[in-house]
C-alpha cells in the first residue's frame, strides 16, 4: 500500500496553467548625475505583476522607455530584477540558482527587433539555425533545421540554407530569427518589437505566421510592441505599461474596443485605423516623463485631462473594473 501511493505521487506532476508568472517585479537602475554628481534612480519597472497562460499570446504595449524590453529581458533571464519573482513553468528562475536558468535555455527563447544585427552576418542560414543546438549540445538532424525553416514559411527550405543575412529581405531575416528559436522546441517566446522594422505589407504575414506557431506548436508568447494595433491583430490579452507599471490589462479586443485608462485611449487614438473605435476623443498632454522622477499619486496625472485631487493624493491600484479587465485609475 505504502509503495503504491509513493509511486502514485512520483508519477503525478502538476501542470501549471501559467507558463509565466511575474510577481512584484522591479528593476531600478542607479544613474550618476551630470558631472558625476549625485545619483538618481531610474525606475524601469516599478511593481509589475502579470502572467501568461499556456498557448496564450500576451502583448505588452507602451511608449518608448515604458519598460517593455526590461520586462522581456528579465523574464528570459538575461537581466536580474531588483525585486520580485519570475516563475517559468512554476520554477522561480532567479531564486533557484543556475540550474533552472540553464534548463530554460531550451524552454524559453527571445527574438529582437532588428533581425539584421541579431543574425551573425558571417553565418549562412544553415549555420544560424544550427548554432543554438550546437551551443547547447542538443543532438539534431538536418530535418530539424529544414522543418523549422518550413514552419516559418521559408520555402523551399533547402534554397535558404546557403543564404547569408544580406541576401535576404527584412521579413525573411526575421523569419530566420524565429526559425533559430523554434528549432530549440521552446514552450515560450518573447518577441521584442518583432515587426517594427518590417514594412506594412510584411507585418500582417509575419503576425499570421506567429499565430500559426501558437496553433500548431502550442507556443506561448510575450509580444512586445509600442504599437497597439499589432497587439490587436495578434494577441489574446494585453498589458499596457506606463513608466514601469501596468495601468490596464485584459482581453485585447476589450481593451481596444472599450479602453478604460485615459492613456490607453490616447494610444489607440494615435493609430488612425483604430482611433475610430474610441467613442470620445481623449487628449493627453506632453510626453512621458523620464523614469527617474516620481510623482505623488498617479504617475500619469501630469498628462491626464481628467486628473482630480484624489489623483494627486493616492496612487491608483490595478483593480478589476469589469470581469477580466483591470485598470489603475481613480475614474473606475
Ligand X SMILES: Nc1ncnc2c1ncn2[C@@H]1O[C@H](COP(=O)(O)OP(=O)(O)OP(=O)(O)O)[C@@H](O)[C@H]1O
239 binds, among ligand X, ligand SF4, Mg ion, none (CB under 5 to 8 A by kind): none
* Nearest approach, Cβ of residue 46 and ligand X (Å): 10
Name the one range near Mg ion by CB under 5 A: 31-39, 65-73, 77-85, 143-151. Answer: 65-73
Reduced to 3 states (helix: H, G, I; strand: E, B; else coil), residue 187 is coil
Of the pair 288, 329, the CB lying nearest ligand SF4 is at: 329
**Of 69, 229, 235, 238, which lies in the binding site for Mg ion, with binding defined by CB under 5 A?**
69
* Nearest approach, Cβ of residue 77 and Mg ion (Å): 17
Q: Measured at CB, which residue is nearest to Mg ion?
A: 69
Lookup result for grid cell 508519477: 11
* Per-residue CA distances from 230 to 98, 187, 206, 274, 279 (Å): 35, 22, 11, 11, 21
**In terms of C-beta distances under 8 Å and separation of at least 24 residues, what long-range contacts does 284-288 make, across chains too?**
288/63, 288/64, 288/65, 288/66, 288/242, 288/243
42 binds, among ligand SF4, Mg ion, ligand X, none (CB under 5 to 8 A by kind): ligand X
306 binds, among Mg ion, ligand SF4, ligand X, none (CB under 5 to 8 A by kind): ligand SF4
Of the pair 65, 165, the CB lying nearest ligand X is at: 65
* Nearest approach, Cβ of residue 27 and ligand SF4 (Å): 23
Q: Is 118 in the site for Mg ion (CB under 5 A)?
A: no
Reduced to 3 states (helix: H, G, I; strand: E, B; else coil), residue 249 is strand
8 CB-near residues (< 8 Å, 6+ apart): none
Of the pair 80, 167, the CB lying nearest ligand X is at: 80
Nearest Cα residue to 82 out of 27, 40, 30, 42 = 27
186 binds, among ligand SF4, Mg ion, ligand X, none (CB under 5 to 8 A by kind): none
Task: Tell me the three cell numbers of residue 295.
Answer: 510623482
Q: What are phi and psi of 285, to 5 degrees?
A: -95, 140
252 binds, among ligand SF4, ligand X, Mg ion, none (CB under 5 to 8 A by kind): none
Of the pair 106, 226, the CB lying nearest Mg ion is at: 226
Cβ neighbours of 170 (radius 10 Å):
16
HEC per residue, 5-45: HHHHHHHCCCCCCEEEEEEEEEEEEEEECHHHCCEEEEEEE
115 binds, among Mg ion, ligand SF4, ligand X, none (CB under 5 to 8 A by kind): none
* Nearest approach, Cβ of residue 297 and ligand SF4 (Å): 7
* Nearest approach, Cβ of residue 211 and ligand SF4 (Å): 32
* Nearest approach, Cβ of residue 197 and Mg ion (Å): 12
Partners of residue 29 on adjacent β-strands: 42
Of the pair 182, 267, the CB lying nearest ligand X is at: 267
* Nearest approach, Cβ of residue 100 and ligand SF4 (Å): 38
Question: What are the residues binding ligand X (CB under 6 A)?
Answer: 29, 31, 42, 44, 62, 64-70, 226, 291
Lookup result for grid cell 501549471: 16
Question: What are the residues binding ligand SF4 (CB under 6 A)?
Answer: 262, 298, 300-301, 304, 306-307, 311, 316, 329-331
Contacts with Mg ion: how many residues (CB under 5 A)? 2
Q: Is 225 in the site for Mg ion (CB under 5 A)?
A: no
191-210 per-residue burial string, b: 16 or more CB within 10 A, e: under 16? bbbbbebbeeebbeebbebb
* Nearest approach, Cβ of residue 189 and Mg ion (Å): 16
> How many whole angstroms separate alpha carbon 273 and alpha carbon 229?
8
> How many whole angstroms separate alpha carbon 127 and alpha carbon 161?
8
Name the site residues for Mg ion (rule: CB under 5 A): 68-69
Amino acid at each position: 500500500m505504502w509503495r503504491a501511493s509513493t509511486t502514485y505521487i512520483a508519477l503525478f506532476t502538476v501542470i501549471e496553467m501559467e507558463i509565466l508568472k511575474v510577481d512584484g517585479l522591479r528593476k531600478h537602475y542607479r544613474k550618476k548625475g551630470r558631472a558625476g554628481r549625485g545619483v538618481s534612480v531610474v525606475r524601469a519597472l516599478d511593481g509589475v505583476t502579470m502572467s501568461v497562460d499556456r498557448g496564450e499570446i500576451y502583448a505588452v504595449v507602451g511608449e518608448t522607455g515604458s519598460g517593455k524590453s526590461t520586462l522581456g529581458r528579465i523574464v528570459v533571464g538575461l537581466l536580474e530584477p531588483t525585486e520580485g519573482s519570475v516563475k517559468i513553468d512554476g520554477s522561480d528562475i532567479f531564486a533557484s540558482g543556475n540550474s533552472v536558468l540553464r534548463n530554460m535555455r531550451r524552454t524559453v527563447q527571445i527574438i529582437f527587433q532588428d533581425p539584421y544585427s541579431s543574425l551573425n552576418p558571417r553565418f549562412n542560414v544553415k549555420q544560424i539555425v544550427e548554432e543554438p543546438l550546437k551551443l547547447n549540445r542538443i543532438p539534431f538532424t538536418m530535418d530539424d533545421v529544414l522543418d523549422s525553416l518550413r514552419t516559418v514559411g521559408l520555402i523551399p527550405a533547402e534554397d535558404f540554407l546557403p543564404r547569408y543575412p544580406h541576401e535576404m529581405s527584412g521579413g525573411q531575416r526575421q523569419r530566420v530569427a524565429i526559425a533559430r528559436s523554434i528549432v530549440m522546441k521552446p514552450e515560450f517566446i518573447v518577441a521584442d518589437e518583432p515587426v517594427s522594422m518590417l514594412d506594412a505589407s510584411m507585418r500582417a504575414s509575419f503576425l499570421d505566421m506567429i499565430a500559426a506557431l501558437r496553433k500548431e506548436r502550442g507556443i506561448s508568447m510575450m509580444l512586445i510592441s509600442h504599437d497597439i494595433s499589432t497587439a490587436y491583430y495578434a494577441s489574446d490579452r494585453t498589458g499596457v505599461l506606463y513608466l514601469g507599471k501596468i495601468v490596464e490589462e485584459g482581453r485585447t479586443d476589450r481593451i481596444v474596443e472599450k479602453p478604460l485608462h485615459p492613456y490607453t485611449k490616447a494610444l489607440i487614438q494615435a493609430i488612425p485605423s483604430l482611433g475610430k473605435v474610441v467613442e470620445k476623443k481623449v487628449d493627453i498632454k506632453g510626453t512621458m516623463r523620464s523614469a527617474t522622477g516620481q510623482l505623488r499619486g498617479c504617475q500619469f496625472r501630469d498628462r491626464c485631462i481628467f486628473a482630480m485631487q484624489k489623483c494627486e493624493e493616492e496612487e491608483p491600484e490595478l483593480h478589476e473594473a469589469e470581469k477580466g479587465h483591470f485598470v489603475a485609475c481613480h475614474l473606475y
